[in-house]
Structure 1
Amino acid sequence: MNTTKPDILTILDTRILPGESKEVNFDVANLHTSSPVNVPVIIERAKKPGPVVLFTAGIHGDEVNGVEIVRQLIAKGLNKPKCGTIICIPVINVFGFINLKREFPDGRDLNRVFPGSVDGSLASRVAHKLINEIVPYVDYIIDFHTGGSGRFNAPQIRIVKEHKELNDLAKVFAAPFVLYSKNLNKSFRNTCYKLGKPMLLFEGGKSFHIDESVTNAGVNGAKRLLSHFGMLNIKYKAKPSKKETVFINESRWIRAHFSGMFRASIPISSQVKKGDVLGHITDPYGKLNHEVKATNSGFIINVNEAPIVYQGDALFHISKKLKR
């Protein structure tokens, strides 16, 4: 990939010279009160040329742990590169973030409307602006997400199979797990894939929650990537992961056979054997005590932390086949 960029980088109609720091606004629409909504895009350029790396979070407004990871990158000065350019967008879906909702005010999931349209819905216009006014100028993208409501994801990178560069970058990031998964139609990841822009999608934690271990995994992975690109500021060191990354070819959900009160009895990231008891479903009257058991041996990469579940609800995400 060509990492030599022109001296002047123009993003959102703003010129950023080598060695400059700029905060530009990613504006699409005002609130219904006519109050402006500013979505800050924080750009740091080194004097020395190099790759352009984009860190994004908050595509879903309730996924605050991803926002916290990008916030820490900025607050700690990790976004000030030794070479090249780092662009940070901590909250893409600021409308959802304001209202603590996953979707946009129009009810649409931003991650299902890419590449968007200049005259489409509000979510579609945001997607279009991101894809047309920022993504063309970047070389690599790291997009931070969390699990859904009540479902806690172990820190993991999601990529497609049979893509050598993404596999190599995932090894460098060194999250506890790498889950091979297909690109979803009209997602940010799929659109960037079609544009030839390598993206690592990070998942960790759950919505409306900030977890220190997940945050650390995201920040440390970002440091390793920046070090790999020669961009990490000399004030910082990227420490190798203490554990080897587990690459997962196939996984499945273990679902509830009964409705009731649910309690998991094993921690996230545990390695279990087929038949191990993972949790219990009970009823309020002391008559039901159902053991939820592992359907196969593997690693637990997601745990449902909801206290009440219904028959058919996903309780545990377990690896099925590992990459050898």
Structure 2
Amino acid sequence: MKARPWLRGLACSLIMLTVPGWANEIEDDLIITPPPAAAPAADETSDSAAPPETADPAAPPVAAEADAEAGPAASPPVEQETASVNEMGPFRFLDTDVMPGTTRRLSWVASESFLGISVPTPVLVAHGTRPGPVLCLTAAVHGDELNGIEMVRRVLYGLEADELAGTVVGVPIVNLFGFRRSSRYLPDRRDLNRYFPGNAHGSSASRIAHAFFEGIIRHCDALVDVHTGSFHRTNLPQLRADLDHPAVLDLTQGFGAIAVLQSEGPPGTLRGAATQAGIPAVTLEAGEPMRFQPEEVAQGVKGIRSLLNHMKMLSRISLWGEPQPVYYESDWVRADSGGILFSRVGLGDRVKKGDVLGTVTDPITNTRIEVISTVRGQVLGMALNQVVIPGFAAYHIGIEKSRDEVAEEAATADELTPENEAPDADVEEAPSPPPVEAPEPPPEPLPETDERPD
């Protein structure tokens, strides 16, 4: 009778040992576990981890305490390397995934064109293997400006995508309509670079500009828009940029020794619209229209590659022989008589006030009139030798003045100018009239005096 209580207790113990989970409960009581908030991360994030009640109880207490002390920074090195590699995923662009370390040729199609048909525009994309910005290069917004086409081609096909950080998007021929016709304009005789950022319900030019701006430019972090001179003019390789924007100023500093001219992006231009949208943009001017010029192309390509290095997208270094000149003011020197222009200076020459820049000779009377520089500076642009009329803009001079000097002179001019009068505008840089949205009748080509070098 005395043994019955002992036997009864032994039987109960054997029964409890057979209950599922009982042994785990005993072991959990023996292990010093952290508070619920500090539960192991594997139980929370891993899809393959077992529920807490069936988790492996054999983890030693010392390991648990070490994990708690180490915190989140104590993740294994292998996991850190995997995360950095997976950080650079495909670049989604124009409904296509461009994989890291690859270069693709895509097509952009405007939603609606002047002719009512779709014209695919080639777009080159180089997507790197490391995180970085998206830089966009555009050319031939005016269809007769050929130097930029070659610049974009050389830069994009010269990239090794597996060495690139970020992405480079290149559109060699934006105005494919004008390019096919060897024309500066669209088929409706409108200048595409007067309609950005465009209007989805406006004229043909506005619709094309809107589709391009939304489909391409909005996906980029910076823009370089390449142009040339217009209508028998040529430009020294130079940047047009609004230096009042810090991000734009930083962009210009990556181009090496290429000259920079302070210029607000006029309304309607691609550069102005991009900067207004928060995308720092510059215009790279180089050479003349209707020609491929190897020297100008090579200098532009060198500047863009220097920019890629400045933006930490490439590690290559381009060496320049002289510092970057910056001009906060410029002036056009005009011919005062009609005849044939013969220049005595070239692009990049430095001139003083009173220097003879060229002569205009009347072919009938043999009268020769000298074109005299009215300022001191550098020749940034000039007309090619041709027949000119009085008032023709012949030489574009970057004036060597500091920014403070320009601001002080502007303030003085504002005080001296009557309220009901406006100072003479530089018609080459002045904004064009507002675009005419009515499809009929189409406007005539813009006259020479209404052209902006952008």
TM-score > 0.5 by shorter chain: yes
Cα gap change, 1:321/1:79 in structure 2, threshold over 3 Å: closer, same or farther? farther
Q: Following the alignment from structure 1 to structure 2, what is the Cα–Cα distance between the partners of residues 19 and 76?
A: 14
Q: Following the alignment from structure 2 to structure 1, what is the Cα–Cα distance between the partners of residues 341 and 330?
A: 22
- Within-5 A mapping of 1:182-201: 182-201=264-283
Q: Following the alignment from structure 2 to structure 1, what is the Cα–Cα distance between the partners of residues 87 and 273?
A: 23
Q: Following the alignment from structure 1 to structure 2, what is the Cα–Cα distance between the partners of residues 79 and 6?
A: 13
2:152·2:170 contact (CA, 8 Å) conserved in 1?
yes
Find the counterpart in structure 1 of residue 345 from structure 2.
Answer: 266
Which of 303, 326, 336 aligns to 1:257? It is 336
Which of 154, 167, 171 aligns to 2:249? It is 167
1:261·1:283 contact (CA, 8 Å) conserved in 2?
yes
Q: Following the alignment from structure 1 to structure 2, what is the Cα–Cα distance between the partners of residues 92 and 289?
A: 43
User: What are the superposed Cα offsets for residues 283-314 of structure 1, whole Å, 9 maximum, x if unpaired?
Assistant: 11353111111112111111110411011100
Deviation at 1:168, TM superposition (A): 2.4
- Within-5 A mapping of 1:206-221: 206-221=288-303
SS class of match (2:341): strand
SS class of match (1:227): helix
1:80·1:86 contact (CA, 8 Å) conserved in 2?
no
SS class of match (1:49): strand
Bigger mean CA deviation after superposition, 41-50 or 89-98: 41-50
2:262·2:328 contact (CA, 8 Å) conserved in 1?
yes
- Within-5 A mapping of 1:236-315: 237-285=316-364, 287-315=366-394
Find the counterpart in structure 2 of residue 24 from structure 1.
Answer: 106
SS class of match (2:179): helix
Which of 84, 105, 110 aligns to 2:166? It is 84
User: What are the superposed Cα offsets for residues 74-113 of structure 1, whole Å, 9 maximum, x if unpaired?
Assistant: 3433677521111110000000000011111122111111
Find the counterpart in structure 1 of residue 213 from structure 2.
Answer: 131
SS class of match (1:147): coil
Of Structure 1 and Structure 2, the greater strand share is in 1
Aligned residue pairs total 317
TM-score normalised by the chain length of structure 1:
0.91
User: What are the superposed Cα offsets for residues 171-214 of structure 1, whole Å, 9 maximum, x if unpaired?
Assistant: 22024310001211121111111211011210111111222221
Deviation at 1:14, TM superposition (A): 1.6
1:45·1:81 contact (CA, 8 Å) conserved in 2?
no
Q: Following the alignment from structure 2 to structure 1, what is the Cα–Cα distance between the partners of residues 195 and 398?
A: 29
2:102·2:161 contact (CA, 8 Å) conserved in 1?
no
SS class of match (2:360): strand
Q: Following the alignment from structure 1 to structure 2, what is the Cα–Cα distance between the partners of residues 286 and 72?
A: 49
Bigger mean CA deviation after superposition, 117-126 or 309-318: 117-126
Cα gap change, 1:120/1:31 in structure 2, threshold over 3 Å: closer, same or farther? closer
Find the counterpart in structure 2 of residue 10 from structure 1.
Answer: 92
Bigger mean CA deviation after superposition, 112-121 or 246-255: 112-121
Which of 219, 227, 241 aligns to 1:145? It is 227
Q: Work out whether 1:47 is the aligned partner of 2:47.
A: no
Q: Following the alignment from structure 2 to structure 1, what is the Cα–Cα distance between the partners of residues 399 and 313?
A: 37
Deviation at 1:271, TM superposition (A): 0.5
- List alignment gaps of at least 5 residues for structure 2: 1-85, 404-454
The structure with the larger Rg is 2
Deviation at 1:39, TM superposition (A): 0.7
Deviation at 1:278, TM superposition (A): 0.9
Q: Following the alignment from structure 1 to structure 2, what is the Cα–Cα distance between the partners of residues 120 and 277?
A: 48
CA RMSD of aligned residues (A): 2.2
2:376·2:400 contact (CA, 8 Å) conserved in 1?
no
User: What are the superposed Cα offsets for residues 5-44 of structure 1, whole Å, 9 maximum, x if unpaired?
Assistant: 872432222222323332211112579596x532111111
Find the counterpart in structure 1 of residue 262 from structure 2.
Answer: 180
Find the counterpart in structure 2 of residue 72 from structure 1.
Answer: 154
Find the counterpart in structure 1 of residue 438 from structure 2.
Answer: none
Q: Following the alignment from structure 2 to structure 1, what is the Cα–Cα distance between the partners of residues 245 and 281?
A: 11
Cα gap change, 1:299/1:78 in structure 2, threshold over 3 Å: closer, same or farther? farther
2:241·2:264 contact (CA, 8 Å) conserved in 1?
yes
